[in-house]
Every structure is written in C-alpha cells, then in structure tokens.
Structure 1
Amino acid sequence: MHVDEWLQTIPSVWVYVLVGAVIGLESLGIPLPGEIVLVSAALLSSRGVVDPLVVGLCASGGAIVGDSIGYLIGRKGGRALFDRLGRRFPKHFGPAHIARAEHMFNRHGMWAVFFGRFIALLRILAGPLAGALHMPYWRFLVANVLGGVAWAGGTTAGVYYLGVVADKWLKGFSWVGLVVAVLVGIGTTLWLKRKAAKAASEEETVPETVSAS
C-alpha cells in the first residue's frame, strides 16, 4: 500500500498531526521520510480529502519547531553527538556526511539553513549541526522560519495545483496521452537525478581536498 493510500484510511485531523509530527521529527535529526509524507498529504488535498492550507501550516510548524529543538540538542551535545549518531545511523550521519554538511555551513552560513530544507541530507542535519557549530540562534531562527515556510508551503501548493491540473488533464485525454505523460515524467526525473548526483559529487570533492591539505 502506498503512503497516500494509507493516509486515506485515517481521519483528516490525524493526517495533519502525522504531517507535522513526521516532518518535525525529521527536522529534529531523526531520519524519517518527511518529504514523502508531505507530498502524499498534498496529493490528498488536491482530491479534497484534506485542506491544503492546513497541510502547509502543519508542515511549516513541524519543520520550524523540529529544527529549533534539533538546534538546542546540537548546542548541548556538540560534536560528541554526531559521533554517537554516526555509529547508530552511518548512512545518514557518517563522517563524510557530517564533513560535507559542515563545509556547506562554513561556506554559506544562514543560506545553508535556508536551502538545507530542500536537500535531504541537510534537512536532517541543519538544526543539530547549526547548534553544534554555535551559530547565533537569531540567525538560525530567521533562516529556519523562512526555509520551513518556503519548503513546506511551496511543496504543498505545487503538488496541490499539479494534482488538480493533472486530474483535469487526464480526464480529457486518452490512454495514449497518459503514456506520453508518464514517459516524459520518467525522463525528467532521471535527468534531475543525474544533475543532483553530479552536484553532490562535486560538493564531496571539496571537503576531501581540504582535509587532504
């Protein structure tokens, strides 16, 4: 059963709670599929199952609160926290991941917090890492609020309107149009994944070069 099919089986109020909770826990530093839950809830809103405005508000609130708690945990736990997390979750908090994220923070500052909301790795690390690096909280909070609202609100709105348009479009075309749309979607997704992988590999080389020198 897909996530959106599962969400349809529970009351709408619990969909809102689930969206806020999962995204909040992910932002706190726990590796959970926050983006998948948000996209699935936004798709449900395009079908009238839940309210898109409430979904966006819950997602934004979860992102902001979770990141803030993660910041406080990172501030208190420091680097030792990431050593423990690295042993428990090596796929998400391994030395290479931490080095890459730290490089981006040192290089971009507040922008790393803002744009980190749109990147899976930094979405988990942003709060705790900002706290561990002793970023001033007011700077973190500004970037955290703006990034959380932009990511959660933008994703919800985009998926909602895409779902509404797709539903109307598919009703007016034959199965041939559907096949063409699927092929275009797959091709676009593969192209974006290649671009993202190339960008990530270029980022990885920078910390390795710095540490080698």
Structure 2
Amino acid sequence: MEVPALHIAQWIESVPPTAVYGLVGLIILVESLGIPLPGEIALVTASVLAASGVVNPWGVALCAIAGAIIGDSIGYSIGRKGGKPLFEKLGRKFPKHFGPDHLATAEKAFQKWGMWAVFFGRFIALLRIFAGPLAGALRMPYWKFLIANVLGGICWAGGTTLLVYQVGKVAEHWLKSFSWIGLIAAVLGGALSAWILKRRAAKAGAAHAEAAVATSDTVAAPVAD
C-alpha cells in the first residue's frame, strides 16, 4: 500500500529533530526493498529542514546513504532468493507498481546498462524500487551490484541533500534580504506619502488663506456711487 507523499512530508516535519535522521534512513531503506514509499520526498523534506537549521545536513546525508545501500542490499538478497516468480506474485497483488509493463521496462534498463542500471536506478523512481530485487533475480554478480549500489547511494542521497540544502540556504538568505528591502521600501513609501500629504495640506492652507484675505479686502472696500 502506497503512503501519500504529503503524509510522509508532514510526518517528518512533526517528529523531534533527532528522530528525523532515523526516519529518513528507514523510509529510504524500505523503499529500496521494493516497497513503494516516497523516499525522495522524505529526503528533500529532511534537507529543507537542514537548510532551516532544524537538523544537520551531514546527518541527513549519512542516514540516507546508509538506508539506500542497506535497503538495496537486502532487496538484492530477496530478489536472488525469490527470482522472477516473486515479481509475478507482486504484480498480481500490486499491479500499479509491479505490473508486467513496469517489470519489462526495468528489465530493458538492466539489459542496456548492466550493473549501471543499479546506479542510474537511484535517480529514477521506477528503477529505485526495482533495482535491488531485480538485480538479485537476474543473478547479477554481487560485487558488481555492490559497486553500483554504493556509488549510486552516495551520489543520489548525498547529492540530493547537498543540492536542496544549498538552494534552501540561498533562498533563505534571499528572502531575508527581500524582507529588509520590503521594510525599507515601506518606510520610504510612508515618508514620501507623508511629505506629499504635508505639501498638499500646506498648499491648501495657503490657498484658503489667500481666499480669506481676498474676501476680507472685498468686504472692506468702499462702494462707489
């Protein structure tokens, strides 16, 4: 059963900071076993929290890398033991994620890229679920799988964390600068408005005074015969 991505993001944001590391690692580990969880959403959410200073980005990256590598390794063992009949069984129970079309697409990727399908699979949602179990079912040599698994886990989890963290810090700085600019603009705008109103009031007052003087002069002037 698929867990909605929004629920995962809200869940991560609601737990204590110390629990974020383990939760992210666990979600990615379970996804790597072949269970459809939004691991990428969990990683991005934790990275945004790191950019906000809630958690440490290195802690997020290390836990995500560990979850990816361990999860794929367990998935490889499950796939090697269960073979293709395992995917056929899963396809009947979860056709949305393990249907014949999904399996055929994943197999074509393995035929084209070999061990690097495991590496590139980290960056593709469909292959991220299939990579470990399918590599085991296709009897890929474990040493080849392990190399691609470790490199893929480091590049995907570490790279995503670093990218989102850096973008978040830049955005946070820009928003802070923008808030100061907005404040200064509001102050200057208020001062300008007050100055304009003051000038208009002064002009109106002067015009009213001139009109009053003109009226008094007219009343005081003698009427000619």
- The TM-score with structure 2 as length reference comes to 0.75
User: Which structure ranks higher in relative contact order (CA pairs < 8 Å, sequence separation ≥ 6)?
Assistant: 1
Identity, % of aligned pairs? 67
- 1: CA distance between counterparts of 2:153 and 2:89? 27
Q: Cα distance, 1:6 vs. partner?
A: 3.9
Contact 2:33 2:133 in 1 (8 A): yes
- 1: CA distance between counterparts of 2:11 and 2:102? 32
- 2: CA distance between counterparts of 1:167 and 1:12? 20
Is 2:57 aligned against 1:52?
yes
Deviations 1:114-141 (A, max 9, x none): 0100000000000000000000000000
User: Which of 97, 111, 120 is equivalent to 1:92?
Assistant: 97
- 1: CA distance between counterparts of 2:7 and 2:132? 29
User: Which of 6, 10, 29 is equivalent to 2:15?
Assistant: 10
- 2: CA distance between counterparts of 1:51 and 1:57? 10
1:164-179 correspondence runs (5 A): 164-173=169-178
- 2: CA distance between counterparts of 1:48 and 1:124? 31
Q: Cα distance, 1:2 vs. partner?
A: 6.5
Output the amino acid matched with 1:164.
Answer: K
- 2: CA distance between counterparts of 1:92 and 1:2? 19
Is 2:108 aligned against 1:106?
no
Equivalent residue of 1:172, what SS? helix
Change (3 A) 1:3 1:71: closer
Equivalent residue of 1:41, what SS? helix
Change (3 A) 1:66 1:107: same
- Runs of 4+ displaced beyond 3 Å: 1-6
1:63-74 correspondence runs (5 A): 63-74=68-79
Gaps of 5+ in 1: 178-213
Corresponding residue of 1:76: 81
- 2: CA distance between counterparts of 1:116 and 1:63? 11
Is 2:125 aligned against 1:120?
yes
Contact 2:32 2:71 in 1 (8 A): yes
Corresponding residue of 2:190: none
Output the amino acid matched with 1:64.
Answer: I
Equivalent residue of 1:69, what SS? helix
- RMSD of Structure 2 on Structure 1 (CA): 1.6
- 1: CA distance between counterparts of 2:168 and 2:9? 13
Q: Cα distance, 1:9 vs. partner?
A: 2.6
Is 2:166 aligned against 1:161?
yes
